[in-house]
Structure 1
Amino acid sequence: MTGVARLRRLVPTSLAGQSVALVAVVMAVIVLVGGTLAALNARAAGDHDARERVTAVATTIAAAPSSAEAILSGAATAQLQPVTESVRRSTGMAFITIMAPDRTRYTHTTPSMIGGKYIGSIDRALAGETFTEVSTGTLGPSVRAITPIRDPDGRIVGLVAAGITQETLTAAWYAQLPLIIGTAAAAAAVALIGLMLLRRRLRRATGGLAPEELRVMYDHHDAVLHAVSEGLIVSETGEPVLINDEARRLLDLPDGDLDVMALPDFLARIAATSGVADGDDPIRDELHVTDNRVLVVNSAPVPGLRGSSVITIRDRTEVQAALGELDSMTRFAEALRSSAHESANRLHTIVTLVEMGRPDDAVRFGTEEFELSQSLIDRITRAVGEPAVAALLLGKTSQAAERGIALTVTDDSEIDAAIPDAVPGVLSPVELITVVGNLVDNALDACDPDDPWVEVTVRNDARTAEVVVADSGPGMDAAAFGRAVRRGYSTKSGGDGAGRGLGLALVSQVVRRHRGSMIAENTYGSVVTVRVDGSPQSTSRAGRSSVMPR
């Protein structure tokens, strides 16, 4: 294996590893630079402190009256040498030299140097200034301060030089290095522990994936969200954090960020409650009706994330319409089979009457049943010009007869067959079948078994559509009727969750679409009235839907 290959193996591939490695390099540079700056600062601080100390010692000795008196008395060495040595030892100075203006030393750390010439700059001191410098003298390089000594008349009679050798300063600086290095090492250790914890958390959050893998996963995730045919909503603590295109289409939501208030009430409720408590059961195939659609909603909590849930939405509008049509065809087929069976009985009766030699009775028996059936067909087709609605009412009449229920289409019924589907505010034949079929089905199921009857009135012209269905049943109270028109609800066995009880909700959907009204009341029976006004002024009553107790 080549050196380059070995080096590549050392480079982390996961996002967590790369992030931590980058931060580790940054932290190492910060610790190294910080330690270096701390060491340099310690050195500079030591030099500054040394200059202040030597200046303080020199000026203190120069200001003492005894210094000038000793020089003027001619016994400077005898009087000042013991004093300067005592001060030097107590202050840690390398040397304290008192000299004459001509550089002749009166005192020195090394007694043999007394009487010799001072090595160093004194011009600024002779001019009356106190200054510091780094200079090399008999003890080696040192930081020193030079200041003048004045007699009571202000004349300069001598000079004081106090200094600390560079070797002493360097030793003091070296003494601080272990603390600086230890602090830097401790900071590096703490940073390393923090980086390990960060790496662990990032690795758990990213699944140990590399940046390229995460990017591919995100691209695939985004493509799936846009391509999936189901609406998808992800919520956290009741707020939607992700809504795909299909969900926006099904719920008629605008683009951009949305809060929970923008969702329909039933979705806001599901988002707020799903996944909040541990062990929440998922919602399976729950039916809900909006203004335009029948939706199937599923919801499941996200494992390990309390308060988070995934909600899926499927459009069942067309499927529900097809199921309604299939149900109508099934019941119609059952009615046809029953009619065929009854016709066979009548035919056997007629044949037997003929064989018995009573043809007149056979003719009378056959024509009475035919005239009665034809009369019903003629009356309904005259009143109801729309063939599909007429067929629906005839089928419901047969179905009711099979169940022993008297279904009556009133003489007030009238449908204009010439009304096109595009007339605003007027029910189309498909919508009329939805309204009439569901209301009649509900009435057939709800009527009183002891006195079963249903009465239907249908009117539809170029301006107004009205459907009135009455039955002998007890009806529902206001609360139950309100739930029924908002979503799938049923008083029959199966309830909400079994996919039943969509009848009134589908009717309410058509009513809201046309800005009409639906009123339930108890008068001569349990009566539900649906009215859609196609006149222009009716459009101002947007969303009107009246609900009264049954």
Structure 2
Amino acid sequence: MLHAIRNSSLFVKLVIMVSLALCPPMLLGHLAGSYFISKYGYEDAENTVSSVAQLAAESPLVVEAMRTRQPEAYRQMTAFLETLTRASDVKFIVLIDMQGIRLFHPDAAKIGQHFMGGDEGKALEGQSYLSSARGTFGFSLRAFRPIFDAQGNQLGAASAGILSSDIEAGVARLTGPLGWLLALSLAIGIVLAVLLSRTIKKILFGLEPHQIARLLEERNAILRTTREGIIAVNKDGTLVLVNEMAEKILRSAGVFGPLEGQPVQSAIPGTRLDAVVREGRPEYDQEQNINSSVVLTNRVPILVQGEIIGAVATFRDMTDVRAQAERLTGLSNYVEALRSRSHEYLNKLHVISGLLRNGRHAELDAYLEQIIGSKKLETSAIAALVKDPIVAGFLESKYSRAHEMGVTLVIEGHGVIPPLSPKGSHALVTVVGNLIDNAFEATIYAVEKRITLNIENIPAQAGGYDELVISVSDTGRGISDEHLEKIFTKGFSTKGSNRGIGLYMLLLTLEEMDGSVEIDAKPGHGTVFTVRVPVAALAQGEQE
């Protein structure tokens, strides 16, 4: 994740950084609000159950009913507690005697049964408190209050409770809007981050930091390596740029010291850069005298969005310019030398013609080797890997074509092409020929023009070879996924009309020989065609 962010664009980084700066305070605010709302919800629930339990325990109706156990008193107590339950929003009010037996419960079927939860003990000892336990309605927050008669004798205890799920639901209703507010705040923050990032990118002309650094490095390298002196001033006539060659030329003219930041008129005598800034007119091929040293200079105003913000001058010492002109006058000598070389080449052609007419083939071979170089390395590679004479001769012709096109053709591998039948030789020439020709076309515009033909064999269990594997790779531009599915279609070609037959014929030939072809192509990284053909199919008909 960090690696992906590190490699992302400046726009993405700015959006992430601004969003991360906004998120923590927003999230902390949301958590703090949720915490206090939740705390308030539980405190309100505690106060409610405590008050209701207190009202039930101190009600004269409740005390009278528990003291006398008279039916009429019970009826009045039941009506009072049911009304209190509805009015107070508690889930239940329960009365128990000193043995923990329910005397009142919202569910009449539970009356007479023992109190559930196991947390009533302290209430029967005369204590008032809050507790959380699981009862007949589920897990709840409940308050206990002891019940005493007028003489101070404890008659039992009253318990009022609210389900924990109801408390959480109430808290959720209050915190829900906070969640929406947080989401809205984050969305607004991200939108602002995007707008800020776009503004910064616009100021930086859409460039990434590494692109800016690269441009600065390239600018410094160009200024450092150029043979011309380059100086630039801003609209106030202050020098803002002086490259190394400019310093060297100016030093030879007697101008020393740090120049950047100095007024151009006082630093460089005779310059007209300040006038170019004022007038906005370029001056080309002007001679300028600097302390008796003459330079040839060009002065051009710098315009940004139609406004002149400065001027730049390039110049060379007139001594160097004159020396260059003198060297150029020697071109006539080179032309004469080329004319002589052309006569010599014609003479060599005459020698070749004479040897050929006289049948002196051995001398002709020696003479040709002397002129165009030896082909022994290429021939030995073919001889070692190709035993079929037709295929060998065909590959030698491809070597010649490669030399004409300036392509490096390499034939290598650990396998061998055995002697084949005439039919097999013709089939292999069709297959390999189309692949090499396509590779030639693919490498026309490549920087490195290289084609590799690799020959391998898959041995058979009974001896000999079972399968011939030939791959042809090139350093061309590769094949896009869009074209990859169509290249074997008859008539399909990216090279113009009346094309698209070679690979179609290759596929037909392989199908006839029970062979197959695989393609490994990556746009911009070349293409590899791998052909697999059974050796038996290539040798078939050898005795015919």
Q: What TM-score do the two structures reach when normalised by structure 1?
A: 0.39
Q: What TM-score do the two structures reach when normalised by structure 2?
A: 0.40
Query: Larger relative contact order (C-alpha < 8 A, sep ≥ 6)?
Result: 1
For the pair shown, the structure with the greater C-alpha radius of gyration is 1
